[in-house]
Structure 1
Amino acid sequence: MSSPAPASSATTNGTSSPPPPPTTNGTTHAPAASPPPPAAPRPPSGLTTATLITLISGIVIGGLVVLIGVGLLVIFCRRKKRRELYGLTNVYGSKDDPSGPLQHWQQDAHQPTNNTDPMLPKHAPLLSIESKPQLSPLHIPASPPPMGILGTEKPLPPPSPGISLGFSKSAFTYEELAIATDGFSNINLLGQGGFGYVHKGVLPNGREVAIKHLKAGSGQGEREFQAEVEIISRVHHKHLVSLVGYCTTGAQRMLVYEFVPNGTLQHHLHGMGRPTMNWATRIKIALGSAKGLAYLHEDCHPKIIHRDIKAANILLDHNFEAKVADFGLAKFASDTDTHVSTRVMGTFGYLAPEYALSGKLTDKSDVFSFGVVLLELITGRRPIDKTENESIVDWVSFSLLCQ
């Protein structure tokens, strides 16, 4: 027979059981039940984990697309602003002719002189033989063609008394140069630009030369002409075009250069029907022109800033040795000066942006222009793409951004 259960519950593992619930009027009340824990949130119907991941990925990708779109819009606005800036500050160039009227002043003498020649700007075509009769050597004109930059006829002043050009180059008379060019005939016309005309000539000793003379009304005064002559007479380098002589007869201002027979880099890169240059030739041209530019910046004291480095001003001989030409805009710069403040001049597509904005000229302005020439050599593109109204610098920058 088993004994009755004790009044107090037995302990299990040293823990006493809770006391029985109190009674009221002999009725036992059970303890109040605790509220159930909140149910775990369930995903909305139809949205699985994979769907949520896809949704989040779509939001992230959409944000990236919007960010890229904003970036492209900013780049487009900056590029448009830069184009408008060049259009306003470029003294020579225009949007219709981005290569600018400061075109090459030498080209292949055997090329036909017609309006389709790719070397000359469309707004300044070569004079056709039919439009003006060819002049014989016996008929020496009183002056070169009288067309000025703005269509005005403004003769240059005579040489100032007591002012000497101060260098040992040959001095030619106007009659001597007229005979050398067959009366400045159109057949010998090599090119023309904002500065003046250039004719091929043959001196009495048989030497071929390129004779460059100022247009009437071109804005080149006595001091400017003498400054250019002084700069050109100081440079002597294999990769720079050398000056043979000059002419200051009356109001005439002419410079006589060595003749470089193989045209310009611009002609070989962009001329119609020209064969594609191989890489060895391109590298040779780049190195030669770089050496000529380095001579101006590092070996001349004071240094010379060319201010118009472009493919049209790099001439090539039959061995494709490069010669930097056309010092009409060159400036001296002291080694102690940080910059030279001057009017913004140059050719559209080659101007350094900081120079175009401030007018503060340094040798780095030439380096930027030479960089554009290198891009032309590498890509074969023109400095300004007329079809897309885009510069080669912007095109390369955008291409790198999209890598």
Structure 2
Amino acid sequence: MKKLLVLVLLLHGPIWSFHLPEVVARPDPPISMAAFPPGTQVGLEEHHPMDPNKKLLIALIFTSTALGAIILSLMCLWNYLRKNSLKSHQKYTYSSDPLKGLSLTPFMSKHDSMGISCNKGAVTLMDYNCLKTATEDFRESNVLGVGGFGCVYKARLEENNHVAVKRLNGGTQDSIREFETEVDLLGRIQHPNIISLLGYSIHDETRLLVYELMQNGSLETQLHGPSRGSALNWHQRMKIALDTARGLEYLHEHCNPKVIHRDLKSSNILLDSNFNAKLSDFGLAVTAGTQKKNIKLSGTLGYVAPEYLLDGKLTDKGDVYAFGVVLLELLLGRKHLEKLAPAQCQSIVTWAMPQLTDRSKLPSIVDPVIRNTMDLKHLYQVAAVAVLCVQQEPSYRPLITDVLYSLIPLVPVELGGTLKIQQPPPLTTREP
């Protein structure tokens, strides 16, 4: 097309290369016979037909101009379509070998609701059939846990890389919304105490989320499963509490706008091979500013703050309340709700509050696994933090930052705190 334009210009020359005699139009003055001497004959200018060469020249000028305008318009249109085509191709192309993560495809939610400034980039779109093979066709023996919308499976990718795959079945509005929120949010943030989302997949009505594998499962399983907390000593429990507080503090203080998890509980706190804790399950999370909109009341009974349950008032202090419940689970070894009768339950908060503030009773209600293994001053301090977190009035609860700094001195240095444990002096033997 460019060659055609050059050819036309060479044949006819640019329109600015032709010079016509300048014609200035002026009104003709009226002719008065008095202006001529008597007997003078006034003659009119004789008009001759236009030279054919001039007609041809004018025709060529107009033709060249019109043809140049058409060619220029077509070139602009072609460039516009070409650029859009490239952008579209780049947006929707993903790796033919997705398990290697060679390319990223951004997941765009319908509402793009988060808009969080602390982003880390897009999440990998993975092939459904590859993930199906990696889970051995979602074999029951590979189930790691069961959630509200589906199961979590252990999967093995290439090079013996193990991951966790959450399968969300059904296309209900709630499950789709939680899936979109999870991908959108975890695709934007990154923190050592927040689970890493490695990829996702959509196949018909089935949606898959691929996470890093947390070898020690959930805190709920560790505390209330077959081991009954025997793998967690006092310092490890304080380390888990500190990790959880750090994850929440990042969401509340370092994300803009702040993120409210809205479903913090022991089953959503996952533990890796070294018992480092990470927050998971962000399907119900909301950002500051959107929590005042018409949001469906969601959460887990026993962890939900009273003001949210009764009045629908949602703030970051709701996460602080849930953290207080988790801290009580770590301290007492009890579940967040205990059944008293088939239709009656008692929360750990209701049961523990009268005894937490009584120093004479507190040591006796501590989880037997860790009873008498900690400094009593530290025990009283943790109990005081838990009591503040589960206050009925949200304004009485501390910020998660305050909670974080109150726990750091209780965790040994080697576990991420500032506590220096004094080693007992070596035993000496007397010579006989």
Equivalent residue number for residue 396 of structure 1: 352
- Alpha-carbon displacement from aligned partner over 1:28-59 (angstroms, at most 9, x marks no partner): xxxxxxxxxxxxxxxxxxxxxxxxxxxxxxxx
Distance 1:162 1:341, change over 3 A: closer
Contact 2:122 2:188 in 1 (8 A): no
> What is the CA deviation profile of residues 153-184 of structure 1, one whole-angstrom value per residue up to 9, with x for unaligned ones?
xxxxxx99999999522111210110110111
Rounded to whole Å, the distance in 1 between the matches of 2:129 and 2:112 is 21
Query: Residues 227, 393 of structure 1: CA spacing in aligned structure 2 closer, same or farther, 3 A cutoff?
Result: same
Q: Find the residue that maps to 1:342 and give its secondary structure.
A: coil
Q: Who is 2:134 aligned against?
A: 180
Q: Which residue of 1 aligns with 2:332?
A: 379
2:296 counterpart of 1:343: yes
Of residues 194, 198, 209, the one that matches 1:240 is 194
Answering whether residue 205 of structure 2 is matched by residue 231 of structure 1, we say no
Does the 8 Å CA contact 2:213/2:272 hold for their aligned counterparts?
A: no
Equivalent in 221, 246, 258 of residue 267 of structure 1: 221
What does residue range 193-204 of structure 1 map to in structure 2 within 5 Å?
193-204=147-158
Report the alpha carbon displacement of residue 338 of structure 1 after superposing the two structures with TM: 8.1
> For 2:321, which of 344, 361, 368 is the aligned residue?
368
C-alpha distance in 2 between matches for 1:319 and 1:161: 34
The CA deviation at 1:202 is 1.1
8 Å contact kept, 1:174–1:252: no
- Helix, strand or coil: the match of 1:168? coil
Letter paired with 2:132 = A
Mapped to 1, the partners of 2:299 and 2:109 lie a distance apart of: 32
Q: SS in structure 1 opposite 2:301?
A: coil
Structure 2, unpaired ranges of 5+: 1-106, 116-120, 360-432
Q: Secondary structure at the match of 1:398?
A: helix
Partners in 1 of 2:349 and 2:272 — Cα distance?
28
Measured in 2, the distance between the counterparts of 1:305 and 1:298 equals 10
Q: Which amino acid is the alignment partner of residue 263 of structure 1?
A: G
What SS class does the counterpart of residue 245 from structure 1 fall into?
strand
1:234 aligned counterpart, secondary structure = coil
Partner Cα separation in structure 2 for residue 354 and residue 170 of structure 1: 39
Structure 1: which amino acid aligns with 2:203? T
Deviations 1:298-338 (A, max 9, x none): 1111111111111111111121111111111111213xx78
**Would the alpha carbon gap of residues 295 and 218 (structure 1) be closer, same or farther in structure 2, given more than 3 Å must change?**
same
Secondary structure of the residue aligned to 1:248 is: strand
* Higher helix fraction (1 or 2): 2
Correspondence list, 1:64-103, <5 A: none
Identity %: 47
Equivalent residue number for residue 215 of structure 1:
169
Counterpart CA distance in 2 for 1:215 and 1:321 is: 30
Q: Distance in 2 between matches of 1:233 and 1:373?
A: 26
1:286 aligns with 2:286: no
Separation (CA, whole Å) in 1 of partners of 2:305 and 2:111: 35
Deviates more, 1:212-221 or 1:376-385: 212-221
Query: Over residues 317-369 of structure 1, what are the superposed CA-to-partner deviations in whole Å (9 max), with x where a residue is unaligned?
Result: 121111111111111213xx785552211111111000001122111111100
Equivalent runs, 1:118-129 vs 2, <5 Å: none
Aligned counterpart in structure 2 of residue 333 of structure 1, from 277, 288, 296: 288
Count of residues in correspondence between the two structures: 243
CA distance, structure 2, for counterparts of residue 239 and residue 345 of structure 1: 23
Tell me the distance in 2 between the aligned counterparts of 1:161 and 1:320: 33
* 2:307 paired with 1:354: yes
Supply the distance in 2 between the matched residues of 1:382 and 1:222 (Cα, whole angstroms).
Answer: 30
User: Secondary structure of 1:253's match?
Assistant: strand
Whether contact under 8 Å (2:168, 2:207) holds in the other structure is: yes
Give the TM-score taking structure 1 as reference length.
Answer: 0.55
* Distance in 1 separating the partners of 2:248 and 2:166: 22
Equivalent AA in structure 1 for residue 277 of structure 2: A
Q: Look up the equivalent residue of 2:250 and give its one-letter code.
A: Y
CA contact (8 A) 1:247 1:254 kept: yes
Opposite residue 200 of structure 1, the aligned amino acid is K
Q: Which amino acid aligns with 1:191?
A: G
